[in-house]
Amino acid sequence: DPVMPGCLGLAALWQLVGFFLTWSGYPGHGRALGAKDVRFFGTVVPGAKLVTYELDIRRTMGRPMILGIASGVVKVDGKQIYEAKDLRVGLFSDEQLKAGISA
């Protein structure tokens, strides 16, 4: 099936939140912690010219854990096809990951 699964677009939004946190100077490895509301309105199909990811960073916290909260949309050729609200990404140290701490 040549259609891009919607979960890949959602994963890209989570990755962008994690990228923003590390770009902002927070240390650690990103882990997706959830989303409040996710909606799919369309798909990415062969022939699409441009896929755009937009984030609205709502909040970042550095203590007691590093957390980013954002809302985002995915557009294909200017048309919105995915929307996610309250995407949550946490950053964790190597020690936390080895100990199994993820939230």
pLDDT 10s digits, 30-69 = 999 999 999 999 999 999 999 999 999 999 998 888 999 9
pLDDT at position 12 is 96
Q: Which domains does the chain have, with CATH numbers?
A: 6-99 (3.10.129.10)
Asked if the model's pLDDT at residue 102 lies above 80, the reply is: no
The token pair at 70 is 């954002």
- pTM for the whole structure: 0.89
Confidence bin at 10 (pLDDT 50/70/90): very high
The fraction of the chain above a pLDDT of 70, given in percent, is 96
CB 14 within 8 A of CB 72: no
CB 33 within 8 A of CB 49: no
